[in-house]
Structure 1
Amino acid sequence: RGPGGAPGGSWPEPLPWGGLLVLALLGGALLALRRWRLRAEKQRREPNPGGAGGKLYIDPLTYEDPEVALRDFAQEIDVTCVTIEEVIGAGEFGEVWRGRLSLPGQPEAEVAVKTLKGGRGERQRREFLREAARMAQFLHPNVLRLRGVVSAGSPAMIVTEFLMHGALDAFLRGREGTLSPLQLVAMLRGIAAGMRYLAEAGFVHRDLAARNILVDAHLVCKVSDFGLSRALDGDREVLGPGQGGKIPIRWTAPEAIAFRTFTSASDAWSYGIVMWEVLSFGERPYWDMSNQDVINAIEQDYRLPPPPRCPPALHRLMLQCWQRERHARPTFPHLVRALDRLIRHPQSLRR
């Protein structure tokens, strides 16, 4: 005010408390968003140290362009370094070949090569490259190792280590009586260790099954298949309106079927099914039941019985994985410890 209390000058009206609070919240939100972006960018640039406590997995879907994700995570290989020898299988996007990789300054290595079939559209190419960007972030003895990618030219290729015995389910069929319970538990322990690593990195597999485990010459099992968009077959079923997609019903937890809730706990349910597959030597879970019959049976608390000659301790572990309440299921660190105890005390594997 001017002299004598007369009005003078021009002062802005003070903001009401509500306006100040909104501005403070907005500023805090912007600061938190900036910090989150800085952390995410730092994670993208840092190498993956491997093992517990390492860098968290970054989903390539967070990248607008999968080529950028590929450059951030995967090694580009010159196509002249890859020699393709023979077809060993088929994937969703093309064929899988056995071949050889000859990188400068490194010994020649036997590899598996997934190719993108000619004529595939841009959507399939982007999914193919995202699978490579996922794999490139993992480094663990029980997870399939990516050697590199060929993204320039056609066909695009994903180059991985080659595992002699191929898929676990096919490997087990016809080998009943040739593998001891202790050998089977050691294989299961390897799968659990690989899944523990993935879970601690923040990755949810969603399609853990014996067909997606590969076996090397020393019976070491490695988790594979990180496409998350795979060929559809009779074991997959369309979900209800609004849920979308097709999922492998026989391996999938009830909450993932009903609500599309995929977590490490739903992977633990799938791991219990893998245990059953291993102990039954590649038997199909739920035999010839239809997918809808499987859903209904699980809802009524039916659980797979122990395979013939299955040690009771292992079936008890399966049943823990198949708890209806997902928080009651064992974590992968718990499963690794439980299997380690069985390996240290093989008498517990007696039937």
Structure 2
Amino acid sequence: MYTIHGALGSPYSMKMRSLLRYRRITHVWSHGSHMQQLAAEKSLPPVIPVIEYPDVSFRNDSTPVLYDLEERHEERSVVPPDPAQAFIAHLLEDFADEWLTKAMFGYRWLEEVDQVQMSRWLSFDALKGGGLEASQGMAKHFRERQVGRMGIVGCTAENFALIEDSTRRVMQALEDHVVNEHYLFGTRPSLAEISIYGQFSQLGVDPTAQAMMRADYPYTFRWMLHVDDMSGIEGDWDAADSSFKPVVEVLMAEFGRVYVPFLLANEAAAEAGEDTFSIDVEGLPYSQGTFKYQLKCLRELRHRYGKLDADTRAKVDPILAQNNCLEFLQ
């Protein structure tokens, strides 16, 4: 039995819970305030969730854990067997984890109404009692800390126009798709949908973002609630010779529009020894501090592309090329 040491307010915790639920991997959900302390005790990076394995080993960082579980459990994989579909699904998973997460931070901590409610709710979650005075006192300090970190993760008011426009394009692509079918690579979920869900699970709770979703993307909002628990889903993958669905084409266009310039600018700044970088996407500016983890993500994307055989590249190269995604992988 696995244990997910996570939190309702953590998109990656919700991602991993959805994953284990769909895969029917026996697990316990342990919601608490001790996760980062647990990570430190186990010499892990200070990120959540922390996954406790049946052998009482501990891991975190959701993407490596997802693939490790693929090695350990064969049933109900979330990686399409077709290597072309699997590669595109991985790109979209990375896009969700590293770019769409900025919408979660921005909607949660830029406006006072969201800062107040979510700091109080997250403190309530952590304390599980102790009285309103205690949780609201904790909320004040938590709110100040999170708001103070916004520049580090690039979720400033100046950047948010681009983040929000990008998020809305993703939601519109899903809104157009999910009224016809729920999944991207067949009639069963992949790592891409599960990772998108992880981020959007938070937008479906926070006041401003939830109101936006309910008003403008109601079926994406409802779809998200289905992805939370897909343990009853039985389905098939699309045939290997199938074309990518239109929704995948649109999502890859967004990947190329915002995420490729973001990754390349971060890489160039790191190589030049610069502390910050900036991009401009269709007239909307974005800047943040250089971030080492995204360098790791870029290396991993290039490594995965480099391992593709000629036949697989022949299938993925057209969608990559038409969306500004080919050269950065080579």
TM-score (norm 2): 0.25
Structure number with bigger Rg: 1
Greater relative CO, 1 or 2 (CA 8 Å, sep 6+): 2
Say which structure is richer in helix.
Answer: 2
Say which structure is richer in strand.
Answer: 1
TM-score (norm 1): 0.24
